Amino acid sequence: MLVLLPPSETKHPGGRGRPLDLGRLALPGLSPERDRVIDALVTLAADEDASARVLKLSDRQRGDIAHNAALRTAPTMPAVDRYTGVLFDALDAASLDAAARRWLGAHVLIHSAPFGPVGALDPIPAYRLGAGTSLPGIPALKRLWSGAVTAALGSGAARFVLDLRSEAYAALGPVPAGAHSVFLRVVTAGEDGTTRALNHFNKHAKGALVRRLATERPRIGGIPALRAWAAASGLDLRDSATQKPGELDLVV
C-alpha cells in the first residue's frame, strides 16, 4: 500500500542533515521539475518585497523568505519530522518506534509544493510555498507538476494507493487513471444521518489513521481489505456521500 499525505504550511526550522540532494528523494524522475521550482523560489527570495507579495506573507512571516533563499544549502530533516500542524501532531512520528518509522519510509509519500511527493523519511529543508501559489518564471504549479507526478506515481510497482491529500494537492498530481486507489474524505454524521466534511478534525483523523497503520502494519491490497481492517479496528468507513467512484468517507 502507498499512502499519499498533504504537507503542512507550518514546519520545524533547522535540522541536522546534509543539504538537499535531489538524488536522495523518492520518485527521482521528478528531479527536472524539482530543479525548476527550487530555482524559481531561490530567485524570488532575492527580492523580499516581491516574495512577500507572491507568497502572501504577513510581516511576521517574512522570515520564511530566508528559508527559500537557502533551499540548496540549508540543513535538512526527514519530511515527516519537518512538518507540524494538526495532521502531523496526530501522527507524532517522532514518538514511533524504529519499525513504525521504517513502515512510514516505505509506504508514505508527502506531497510538497516545491519538491512534489517525497518519502516520509526523505531529508528536506524548511521552505514556504503552497499549492495555489504562482511563481514568476515557471508555469502554474498544477500545470508543471500534474502530468509528471501522475506519470511518476504510475511508474512504480502496481499497488493500492490510499489518497489522503487535500483536493489542492491531489490536483498537483492525480493518481493515474485505472490505478487501484481510493480517495478518503473525513466527515461527521448528524442525527439525521447526513454527513458533512470537517477541517480541523479531518487533519487530526488522517494523522491518527496513518499512525495506526504504521504501528499495526496491516497488509492492505485493496478497498475490501482496507474496509475489513477498518471494521476490525473500530473505524467507520462508508461509501462516499458524494457517490463518486473511488471515494470513501471516514466518519468521526
pLDDT value at position 157?
A: 62
User: How does DSSP assign 65-123, residue by residue?
Assistant: HHHHHTTTTS-BEEHHHHB-SHHHHHH-GGGS-HHHHHHHHHHEEEEETTTEEEETT-E
Distance CA 24, CA 207 (A): 25
- What's the one-letter identity of residue 37? V
pLDDT value at position 192?
A: 62
pLDDT value at position 226?
A: 96
pLDDT value at position 245?
A: 82
pLDDT value at position 244?
A: 80
| Contact status, residue 111 vs residue 80, Cβ threshold 8 Å | no
Q: Which residue has the cell 506519470?
A: 151
First to last CA, the chain: 23
Greatest alpha-carbon span in the chain: 55
Mean pLDDT by 10 residues, the chain (252 residues): 96 96 96 98 98 96 97 98 97 98 98 98 98 97 98 83 96 93 89 65 95 97 95 93 86 91
pLDDT value at position 193?
A: 61
- The count of structural domains within the chain is 1
User: Where in the sequence is the domain holding 65, given as residue range(s)?
Assistant: 2-251
pLDDT value at position 176?
A: 93
